[in-house]
Amino acid sequence: MARHTVADMRTAHAAGSHFAVVTAWDRPTAEFAEAAGVQFILVGDSLAQVALGHESTVRVGMSEMVHHTAAVVRSTSEALVIGDMPFLSYVDAPTAAENAARFIRDAGAGAVKLEGGVSAAPIVAALVRSGVPVIGHIGFTPQSSLNESKPRAKGRLPEAAAALLEDAIALQEAGASAIVIELVPRELAAAITSRLRIPTIGIGAGGGCTGQVQVLPDLLGLLGATAPRHAGRVANLRDEAITALTSWRESVESGLFPTEAQGISADATLIAALNDLPR
């Protein structure tokens, strides 16, 4: 079967249905997502925190993003893989084109995502003219985090809400295939969605968006860090992994691992030869 494309997001939007997007960054996370039937995988720049131990998304660059995007592409066969353009990788149209090409041509992604509204629209338009499917990202935009002390909801005041709608419309008119809306009041995200022809993908933005995206470790409880409330964690894999590894370590230390089942036996000739080995 061919890979999903951004057209499948638009089809869902036109049909009034919802779709799920999760982030992934390597073979296990990509396989989990695809095996769960998730059609759209974002290799988010949250890679910085969730896989590489940085404090902020601004710490990853193109080489890490392309490396991990290629791993996710190799590890899936049907999902649309979306490469998240990192901090300062789309400061002008030529830079954006060069870096989008690395995601699409070198890593095999089927679309890219970038942050920003009205100000990013000319870059989006240039990429779209060159044939790159682009997903926008408005509301809380983590690459602006250097200017903020912590993630803050956006669009809580009427003027800010109107500006976000303007951002969304600018991205739609620039040719964006969909728009991520992060951390805004649910009523605003629903109002924006109802005014667009293209799908929206919410994160902390309520159920009125066309799709929903979450960062995989937040959903699966994979890391020690507290997940944002909007993630609605569905598992606690970190505790399961630690319990399992603790039990394995204890069995090693007490001599119970490995058993015969985990090894290979010597045949009679080798056993005889072993007995003849010098002491």
Dist CA 37 CA 79 (whole Å): 9
Q: Minimum CB separation from ligand KIV for residue 41, in Å? A: 11
Query: How far is 166 from 189, CA to CA, in rounded Å?
Result: 13
- Residues counted in the chain: 279
- Rounded CA-CA distance 216/222 in Å is 8
Longest dimension (CA), the chain: 88
Which of 86, 44, 65, 66 lies closest to 203, judged by CA? 44
Residue 146 or 264: which CB sits closer to ligand KIV?
146
Q: Does 218 bind ligand KIV (CB under 6 A)?
A: no
Minimum Å gap between C-beta 154 and ligand KIV is: 14
Among 51, 215, 219, 222, interactor with ligand KIV by CB under 6 A: 215
Return the number of the residue (42 or 70) whose C-beta is nearest ligand KIV. 42
- Bridge partner list, 157: none
By CB under 6 A, the residues from 40 to 59 that bind ligand KIV are 42, 44-46
Stretch that binds ligand KIV, among 37-45, 187-195, 236-244, 252-260 (CB under 6 A): 37-45
Nearer to ligand KIV, 115 or 276 (CB): 115
What whole-number distance in Å separates Cα of residue 247 and Cα of residue 270? 34
The dihedrals phi and psi of 263, each to the nearest 5 degrees, come to -135, -170
- 80: tokens are 């649309």
Quick check: is 182 catalytic? yes
Residues 94-123 interacting with ligand KIV (rule: CB under 6 A): none
The reply on whether position 23 binds ligand KIV by CB under 6 A is yes
CA distance 224 to 218: 10
Of 148, 182, 240, 260, which residue is the catalytic one? 182
Cβ proximity to ligand KIV: between 34 and 182 the closer is 182
In the three-class reduction of DSSP (H, G, I as helix; E, B as strand; rest coil), residue 82 is classed as strand
From 38-46, 126-134, 251-259, 271-279, span contacting ligand KIV (CB under 6 A):
38-46
CB of 121 to ligand KIV, least distance (A): 18
| Residues 163-202 within binding reach of ligand KIV (CB under 6 A) | 180
The helix/strand/coil state of 23 is strand
Residues binding ligand KIV (CB under 6 A): 23, 42, 44-46, 84, 180, 203, 213, 215
Catalytic residue set: 182
